[in-house]
Structure 1
């Protein structure tokens, strides 16, 4: 199931959507919460890499490989959603899921935009850093909304299927 979900998330990047409203952060949290071992780290990275390769070959603007430093920061931001998902695996998961979604969005925002600042688009000054993060604030709003929606969708669907399977097994 997780491999199919990974392919669906990769494919979803090609559908029309507002900027930064994507399933990738939710996939990292989900993998961190429900997939054991190091394989959990490969899941969001695979979805991002496969879609970037296809986007690059197809020449889709905003996808693919553009600046090594920025790409490293984007991939690191995605990779760090997995340990955040691990924090959701124990205790009262439903109380932690909204905080996990917020943390994943924030970590991705900070890392990816720091990478953008290090890239060739902004001066390497404090003013350039402030401009980079200031210009990225609207995208952060989209990331928050997208992560919250897709986290609720993925975690909710999975938990609903578990409840349904339990009811079926005990009937």
Structure 2
């Protein structure tokens, strides 16, 4: 943003982040989600660090409200373990802001894979610590991570597919409309 004006670049980035967040409401395989991609994209493309964190995390939270309502049958602002999930997303935004300012296929591949691992480790730690599903022992933590392994494949696939799609779609459009180019 520039002197209180919303730039075309800011508006397009925000529209893409919101589009990704709300695509979570469409039917999809478990854990095949655009959330890490939108966090990486926001971190890499917003000029303002405040916007880079606020907009992607708020977009995910708002889409979570809809998903939580569908799952619980009532409005649930934050589910058990939500702190860990949002912490993982914030770290993924930071990863995008550091690693993807200069885009290359190799950087995007490594960063997307890293985002998948960050989300897996932190969110499942939160499930173990706050969900009451596993004993609070080393064995319980290991069982929690083991139970999550089958979902990790879809997390990896979603992070890679959505990540490459959103970053390279934006680059394609930015090459046609130079006002969208990032510095």
Same structural fold, with TM-score higher than 0.5 when normalized by the shorter chain: yes
State the shift of 1:12 in Å: 1.1
Corresponding residue number in structure 2 for 1:66? 79
Say which of 112, 116, 134 aligns to 1:122.
134
> What is the distance in 2 between the residues matched to 1:66 and 1:44?
18
Unaligned ranges ≥5, structure 1: 167-171
Please give the root-mean-square deviation of Cα atoms over the aligned residues, in Å: 1.9
Say which of 55, 59, 62 aligns to 1:50.
62
How many residues get paired? Answer: 163
Corresponding residue number in structure 1 for 2:39? 28
Give the TM-score taking structure 2 as reference length: 0.82
> What is the distance in 1 between the residues matched to 2:133 and 2:56?
26
Moved over 4 A (4+): none
Contact 1:24-1:47 at 8 Å conserved across structures: no
Describe the shift of the 1:71–1:5 C-alpha distance in structure 2 as closer, same or farther (beyond 3 A).
same
What SS does structure 2 have at the residue aligned with 1:38?
Answer: helix
> What is the distance in 2 between the residues matched to 1:96 and 1:115?
28
Corresponding residue number in structure 2 for 1:95? 106
Corresponding residue number in structure 1 for 2:181? none
- Residue pairs, 1:73-152, within 5 angstroms: 73-91=84-102, 93-119=104-130, 120-152=132-164
State the shift of 1:11 in Å: 1.6
Unaligned ranges ≥5, structure 2: 1-11, 179-183
Contact 2:44-2:96 at 8 Å conserved across structures: yes
Give the TM-score taking structure 1 as reference length: 0.87
